[in-house]
Amino acid sequence: MKKIKKQHAALLIVALIISFQLIRSAVEHYNARRHYLSEVKNITHFHTPKEEQTLKKLLMDPILPGETFLHSDNCKGCHGYDSAQYALITEDSVDMNLFDDWRATMMANSARDPLWRAKVSHEILVNPSHANELQNTCTSCHAPMGHYTSKYKGYPFYTIADLMNPSDSLGLDGVSCVACHMIGEPGLGSMFSGDIPYDTSHVLYGPFTGVQTGPMQLYVAMTPTWSSHVSEGKMCSSCHTLLVNSVDLAGNPTGNKFIEQATYHEWVNSTYPGDQVVCQSCHMPQAEDSVRIATGYFGIPKHFPFNQHVFQG
């Protein structure tokens, strides 16, 4: 009897030592990898673009140096259709996935829109001396991620030719997920005509507090962050009031502003703001049920209210 107990004790000690060693090596491995990743992250110069891309992929950081935005394809995997029927559906299994709803909207197609392209070409024909300024203005709302990438890189204009460049997929992505969710609060509500206060510190603002941040930090290198401005009318203000500089028939600036459209100001001056009825209340109808907002993560909670991305006009 005594002998068996001794054997048990010995086994236990051996098991303890082995598990201690395993944990220690796992922690060491983790720390070493973190150190390695932080070192690579700080490298600013690479031998070749390919080397840079490979290393960045290794880091699972899809944002290349000098870039700010991400294409909606990066959001589709976790915020698109859930074949497991677990997230982005109602209690009755009605699909409400964010990607497919958004994909069909005017905003998702704002840079492909043939009427818009035709109108830009027409404006250039009428005012050839303002061709660059015109295209730069028109792209600020219709192709915001292409326009602002170019602006942050210090280029003077972003044109239709830039938009059509096969290496630029961000411009064509239109008013996309990141083009809205990266809008920061300072200045919002007093900046119009495509002047958009982006927060370029790799955060994406959303309406919920306390969401899991790990998956997005790992796969898209951006942190989902709560902020109340996302649920306010001013979220739409930078692009839904357009004042343009007017020119005379000879193309000379008159110094006057022309109100091309002022949907945001029409709303501000209506009774809706006082009744807490914002743009989102009507254009992003809330689901009756609470909904899980990301696919592939079991155990995440359902959220209420869930705002559908249908944006009908």
Question: Which 87-126 positions form the footprint of ligand HEC (CB under 6 A)?
Answer: 98-99, 102, 106-107, 110, 113, 115-116, 119-120, 123
Q: Judged by CB, which is closer to ligand HEC: 40, or 118?
A: 118
Q: Judged by CB, which is closer to ligand HEC: 46, or 192?
A: 192
Q: Is 196 exposed, middle or buried (0-12, 13-18, 19+ CB in 10 A)?
A: buried
Q: Judged by CB, which is closer to ligand HEC: 46, or 82?
A: 82
Which residues between 294 and 313 bind ligand HEC (CB under 6 A)?
294, 297, 300-301, 303, 306-307, 309, 311-313
Contact pick of 149, 150, 159, 238 for ligand HEC (by CB under 6 A): 238
**Closest distance to ligand HEC from the beta carbon of 268 (Å):** 7
- Tokens coding 258: 């022309």
Q: Judged by CB, which is closer to ligand HEC: 55, or 112?
A: 112
**Closest distance to ligand HEC from the beta carbon of 130 (Å):** 10
Q: Which residues, including other chains, have CB under 8 Å from residue 178's CB and lie 6 or more apart?
A: 69, 70, 72, 75, 145, 204, 222
Which residues between 250 and 289 bind ligand HEC (CB under 6 A)?
261, 263-264, 267, 272, 277, 279-284
Which residues between 138 and 177 bind ligand HEC (CB under 6 A)?
138, 140-142, 144, 175-177
Task: Confirm if 88 and 291 have CB atoms less than 8 A apart.
Answer: yes
Q: Judged by CB, which is closer to ligand HEC: 52, or 82?
A: 82
**Closest distance to ligand HEC from the beta carbon of 253 (Å):** 14
Q: Using alpha carbons only, how large is the chain's radius of gyration in Å?
A: 25
Q: Judged by CB, which is closer to ligand HEC: 172, or 175?
A: 175
- Tokens coding 100: 């497919």
C-beta neighbour count of 238 within 10 angstroms: 24
- Under the binding rule (CB under 6 A), the answer on residue 223 touching ligand HEC is no
| Strand pairing class (242-247; 223-226) | unpaired
Count interface residues toward ligand HEC (CB under 6 A).
82
Q: Judged by CB, which is closer to ligand HEC: 46, or 273?
A: 273
Angle at 108 between CA 180 and CA 72, to 5 degrees: 65
- Tokens coding 87: 């997230």
**Closest distance to ligand HEC from the beta carbon of 127 (Å):** 10
Q: Judged by CB, which is closer to ligand HEC: 86, or 219?
A: 219
Torsion (CA) 160, 163, 167, 171 in degrees, nearest 10? 170
Which residues between 29 and 88 bind ligand HEC (CB under 6 A)?
70, 72, 74-75, 77-79
**Closest distance to ligand HEC from the beta carbon of 173 (Å):** 10
Contact pick of 56, 61, 137, 173 for ligand HEC (by CB under 6 A): 137
Q: Judged by CB, which is closer to ligand HEC: 28, or 260?
A: 260
b (16+ CB within 10 A) / e for 23-45: eeeeeeeeeeeeeeeeeeeeeee
**Closest distance to ligand HEC from the beta carbon of 4 (Å):** 50
